Amino acid sequence: MRRFTIETRGDDYSRRLQEEISDRLCGLDFVCDPDSPELVITIGGDGTFLRAIHRQFSRLNEVAFVGIHTGTLGFFTDYSKDDLEEFYRDVSTKEAQIQKVPLMKITTYNGTKLNDYFAVNEMRVENVKQTQLIDVRIDNEFFETFRGTGMCVSSQAGSTAYNRSAGGAILHEGLDFLQLTEITGIHHQAYRSLGSPLIIKKDGVIRLESHDFEKAILCYDHLYTEMIGVKAIECRACTKSIRFAHYKKIPYLQRLKSLF
């Protein structure tokens, strides 16, 4: 993979690193090609990596991603800003191991299908204006009626992100399941829902229905859309995947330990 581009968090420090890394790679026979890169290098954090994936969405089969973190280790990033010499050596001398990570597909309906969205981490339905009612169906079977701020459906990769803040479980690397987590659910004598995270098999479908999603927003990774006219949302793992370029193996628990 010799054609590369660099995506940064956009701050002065990561832009300076971008110039330094670009110059160095060009001196190692790499070619900077922002239009059709084979390797996308991100400089920033997991958030920067997420944004780079969405920007390359139409070319996901053709690009692989490798991240340099400007802070701690990260879940998507394999190098830190202090490992640059190792990074240059690895990308110029080693064959990358490609890890495919499936995306989650989110489909909205209003009787008929409205739109598809794709997420790496999660999708959330959130309503901070009023109590949101959501009927939850799993694999087309009615499960519960939820009342509260909203619900989050996350992937394995997203289990350490918003899901973790919402009290969800962290899924170890390789456990490709979907996880449904409540966002401040109401639980008292009149209303009750499961109240704990629910993990379902990867070919399962989680369907969230409501007669009124008008004041809610649908968030997917760092992106969001209004829900005007939406009556149902389905989440499932999909066949599209992201290609991570790994030049070294970092144990999952090492990444996890660097988080807290």
Q: What residues make contact with ligand NAP under the rule CB under 6 A?
A: 45-47, 50, 74-75, 121-122, 157-158, 160-162, 165, 221-222
Secondary structure E strands in the chain: 3-8, 31-32, 39-44, 64-69, 79-80, 97-110, 112-119, 122-126, 132-138, 141-154, 178-185, 198-200, 206-209, 217-220, 223-226, 232-246
State the minimum distance, in angstroms, from the CB of residue 92 to ligand NAP: 26
State the minimum distance, in angstroms, from the CB of residue 3 to ligand NAP: 26
State the minimum distance, in angstroms, from the CB of residue 150 to ligand NAP: 13
- CA dist 105 and 117 (Å) reads 6
State the minimum distance, in angstroms, from the CB of residue 35 to ligand NAP: 25
How many Cα atoms within 13 Å fall on the side-chain side of residue 50?
17
Nearer Cβ to ligand NAP (25/171): 171
State the minimum distance, in angstroms, from the CB of residue 112 to ligand NAP: 28
Nearer Cβ to ligand NAP (38/149): 149
- CA dist 40 and 53 (Å) reads 9
SS3 34: coil
| Region of 214 on the Ramachandran plot (φ > 0 left; ψ -120 to 50 alpha; else beta) | alpha
Nearer Cβ to ligand NAP (8/209): 8
Nearer Cβ to ligand NAP (51/207): 51
DSSP 152: E
Active site residues: 46
Nearer Cβ to ligand NAP (57/142): 57
State the DSSP H helix or E strand holding residue 22, giving kind and residue range, or none if neither. helix 12-26
Q: Which residues face 152 on adjacent strands?
A: 124, 181
Cα angle: 24, vertex 29, 34; to 5 degrees: 75
